[in-house]
Structure 1
Amino acid sequence: MTHEDARSILVSHPSTDLYGSDLQLLESVTALAGSGFPVHVVIPREGPLEKLLVNRGATTEVIPFPVSRKSVLTPKALPGFIIASLVATARSVRLLRRMRPDLIYANTITAPVWILAGWLTGTPTLCHVHEAEETGSRVLQLLLASPMLLCRTVVVNSLASRKVIYESWPRLNGRIRLIYNGIPQSRTTPTAFQLPRVEGIRIVLVGRLSPRKGTDVALEALARLVEQGLDASIALCGDTYPGYEWFEDRLRRRAAKDDLNGRVHFCGYVENVSYFLEKADIVLVPSIAEPFGNVAVEAQLASRPVVASNVQGLAEIIDDGRTGLLCPAGDHVKIAEAVMLLVNDPSWAAKIAQAGHDSAVQRFSVERYRESIVSEVKESIVARNAHYRLFDRLRGRRR
């Protein structure tokens, strides 16, 4: 098999859940498999994502490997992480030498062992970045971003992600490509937006229960709305990261207090997000940091007005006052004020919902996303093949 004929792609992904980057991977796999690429996805454990990947045309393999998070970059945890990474890299190198893929598609930067294994075996890597970590120390940012120096192409899902990468390692500038996420539209026509006058205002927040997602801020905003006399409730659609059980406990204690008792519904992980969005009157996305913000787009596609934090990718999705409302991150008072503005002017809220829907359809379609991903992968493979042809010619001259 020549280099031109071998067009297989090995995809590494650190999760088997069904949240933002996981669902986006499904669209990437669909695009690549649909274009004739054999796609083999390696994941660290079994989970609900695995079956969906197979349904989209990929083969899967469970190979344990460590995932880099801020929690492992501590003096206590770092030695164990390094040892686990070395073991996993050796295992990854063996797999790459056996498969000989044309390209590694590293989905997120949190599994650097595959990027390192690609460099050790001479396999080019495309890293699809779904993170935009602006908090923490400068040294930590550099460490988390450093594996991308070994990548041929870096795909980012927002200008915010691009900014963080460039500020960490300016030499990567020429390798960065911006591809906004593609969000599937519901197969059913979204119901027209209309605020209720009897049942009370139904607010929905979709996302992990974590400080980063601003779940606690949302509860305080709800408390302020109730204090002002608004009959409102909130559905929290999402579970916790392992190790963040303390945060859920804190949320539940807050929800049990007199002002919020009976108004906060913990729905756990929700597979059919569209059902909850279509039942919502207003969708909150109060994230403290958000590289893109799939939920904001999903809410727009459901024709629901969105109140979101004015941060990173959310500020790229929402045109404040036209396709949604933006508030300072962490400011529950401003969030409550934004919700009241929508409640007090239903016709304006309906216009925002419609404008958001039209914007999402135009800017964040799955078709555009899939075409862009396939184009970048093909370009990386063409560059790889050109490299091998040059290497073969040079080797022939030496002989």
Structure 2
Amino acid sequence: MKVTIVHGSNDTYGASRVLLQEVDSLLALGHSVHVLVPNGGPLQREIDARGSGVQLTIEPKLLVLRRSNWKDSLKFPGLPSAMKEADVVVVWTLGMAGYIPLLRLARKKFYVSVHELLEDNRARTVFKHLLKGAFPVTACSRAAADWLTSLGVTPSRITVTYPVLPDGPSDRDTNPCREGRSGTFTVAVYGRLNGSKGHLEVAQAFQEPCMGDPSWRLILAGAPFPGQENALDDVLRLVDKDPRISYIGEVASLLELTADLDLVALFPKKPESFGLVPVEAWSYGIRSIGYALGGAAEVLPLVGGAVVPNNSPEVPNIAHALIAMREDWGNLQGLPESDQVRPRLSFQNRVAQVSSVLAMFDPLMAGRGIEQTNLPATSSDPS
């Protein structure tokens, strides 16, 4: 069966990483996959590594709905040939939801994969309308599923397909205490630098008088979408004035930072749909700290992360939480063992859930069946 996935990004963050896990699942079920994206980028490299069963095509005229660039929504889209020829189309994230009416009009089989929690009233109204119908919807977390239900999507249409937990290093330390090796304490904020992931707020916390100790370090990783450059400018102003803070731009995964990292900070300005970063950090033996908002309310307790109340004023609250974490570092319990974390986030589970979604169209579309596939223990892509 031919499956076309239409996606609005060509990066290696969040939804793009989970897209690779969807590709792996579809390949394991015996299907061929064609990914459409609007521009070039590092996702191409990951797709190429998966062999002849999957290809990626750049379609510059794809309609992508972005709050940072609403003029794109004025385009009048047509269905690219790869979508017309597919047996099933996957609308990957609500950023591609403009294609839902066209797919319905063309009577194409499709499902929508949701990786958002949007509380803006206008957005809720738009997507409440677009998501009406009987087509399947997948959600990346229980929080995303509950949000879809609040829009009127019936639970019978929703399948939760959790991201896959990657394999970490074989010597993963379940009781990390790295500070003593260098005398510094290094915190990282990692993710799309769009003004809502907490990069600026954590950098501002470093400016609080209580965090004047020169042994603190902060690494800011990520890059903005076009139209979000102001968020980067705000961060760089603090980077320029504080030698303890470094901005390293876009990185392929958190693994690139782990040599010097003690703690990952997650203080977003709005709820995240899942929380890939603390899962990835756990897999490399790194502890997380942050707000239990949205999907993070599931993830942080699962991986032994520290939960911080979302109190005001925000910046001093973050500063005091980081200080308290460092002061108590030697007394913290070890991170959860694999058998406590992996069952919910296994590749086998994801393949089974993807298969069940395809079976909603036709039982024969489900693929060869999970018991017949040669499945790896986990996806090879870090999430």
- TM-score, normalisation: structure 1: 0.82
When the two chains are superposed, the root-mean-square deviation of aligned CA atoms in Å is 2.6
> Which consecutive unaligned segments of at least 5 residues does structure 2 have?
367-383
For residue 130 of structure 2, the aligned residue among 147, 157, 168 is 147
Name the SS of the counterpart of 1:312 in structure 2.
coil
- For the residue of structure 2 that corresponds to 1:40, the secondary structure is strand
Aligned position for 1:23: 17
Matched, 1:326 2:326: no
2:289 equivalent to 1:292: no
Number of aligned positions between the proteins: 359
Give the C-alpha shift of residue 320 in structure 1. Answer: 9.2
**2:12 touches 2:253 (CA, 8 Å); kept in 1?**
no
Code of the residue aligned with 1:16 in structure 2: it is N
Q: Measure how far apart 1:332 and its partner are.
A: 2.6
The structural deviation recorded for 1:329 is: 6.9
Is the aligned partner of 1:379 residue 2:364? no
Higher relative contact order, chain-length normalized (CA < 8 Å, sep 6+): 2
Please state whether the residue corresponding to 1:111 is helix, strand or coil. helix
Cα shift at 1:143: 0.7
Name the CA distance, whole Å, in 2 between partners of 1:123 and 1:149: 16
Per the alignment, do residues 361 and 324 of structure 1 end up closer, same or farther by CA in structure 2, a change over 3 Å counting? farther
Of 99, 102, 107, the residue aligned with 2:87 is 102
Name the CA distance, whole Å, in 1 between partners of 2:21 and 2:56. Answer: 16
Q: How does 1:138-287 map to 2 (within 5 A)?
A: 138-150=121-133, 152-168=135-151, 170-191=152-173, 193-197=176-180, 198-224=182-208, 227=211, 229=213, 231-257=215-241, 261-287=242-268
Corresponding position of 1:111: 96
Aligned 8 A contact 1:195 1:346 in 2: no
DSSP-derived class of the 2:278 partner: helix
Alpha-carbon offset, residue 321 of structure 1? 11
Q: Is the 8 A contact 2:193 2:224 kept in 1?
A: yes
What does residue range 127-142 of structure 1 map to in structure 2 within 5 Å? 127-134=112-119, 136=120, 138-142=121-125
Asked if residue 52 in structure 1 is aligned to residue 73 in structure 2, the reply is no
Q: Take 2:341 and 2:269, find their aligned partners in 1: how far apart are those partners?
A: 22
Which position in structure 2 is the counterpart of 1:8?
A: 2
Matching residue of 1:42: 36
Q: Is residue 345 from structure 1 mapped to residue 328 from structure 2 by the alignment? A: yes
Which residue number corresponds to residue 295 of structure 2? 313
Provide the C-alpha distance between the structure 2 equivalents of 1:65 and 1:231, rounded to a whole number of angstroms: 47
Distance 2:311 2:45 in 1: 36
Residue identity (%): 21
* Pair 1:225–1:380, CA change in 2 (3 A): farther
Query: What is the CA–CA distance in structure 2 between the aligned matches of 1:81 and 1:107, rounded to whole Å?
Result: 16
Question: Residue 321 and residue 373 in structure 1: after superposition, are their counterparts in 2 closer, same or farther (change >3 A)?
Answer: closer
Structure 1: runs of 5 or more not aligned: 1-6, 386-399
Superposed displacement of residue 167, structure 1: 1.9
* Distance across 2 between alignment mates of 1:232 and 1:65: 44
Q: State how far apart, in whole Å, the 1-side matches of 2:341 and 2:259 are.
A: 16
1:368 corresponds to: 349
- d(CA) in 1 for partners of 2:136, 2:88: 11
Shift of 1:292: 0.6
Separation in structure 2 between the aligned mates of residue 368 and residue 157 of structure 1, nearest angstrom: 13
Q: Which residue of 1 aligns with 2:58?
A: 62
CA distance in 2, matches of 1:45, 1:266: 24
Q: Which protein is richer in helix relative to its size?
A: 1
Q: Deviations over 1:225-272 (max 9, x none)?
A: 753646201111111221222221121212333xxx211110111114
Checking the alignment, whether the CA contact within 8 Å between 1:190 and 1:278 is kept in structure 2 is no
Quote the offset at 1:200 in angstroms. Answer: 1.2
CA distance in 1, matches of 2:113, 2:362: 16
Question: Using a 3 Å threshold, how does the CA distance of structure 1 residues 384 and 54 change in structure 2: closer, same or farther?
Answer: same
For normalisation by structure 2, the TM-score amounts to 0.85
CA distance in 1, matches of 2:64, 2:311: 28
Amino acid at match of 1:62: I
- 1:204, 1:277 within 8 Å by CA — same for their partners in 2? no
Measure, in 2, the Cα distance between the counterparts of 1:228 and 1:375.
Answer: 53
Distance 1:356 1:292 in 2: 21
* Structure with the greater alpha carbon radius of gyration: 1
**How far is 1:342 from its partner?**
2.5
Q: Is the 8 A contact 1:203 1:233 kept in 2?
A: yes
**In the alignment, what sits opposite 1:397?**
none
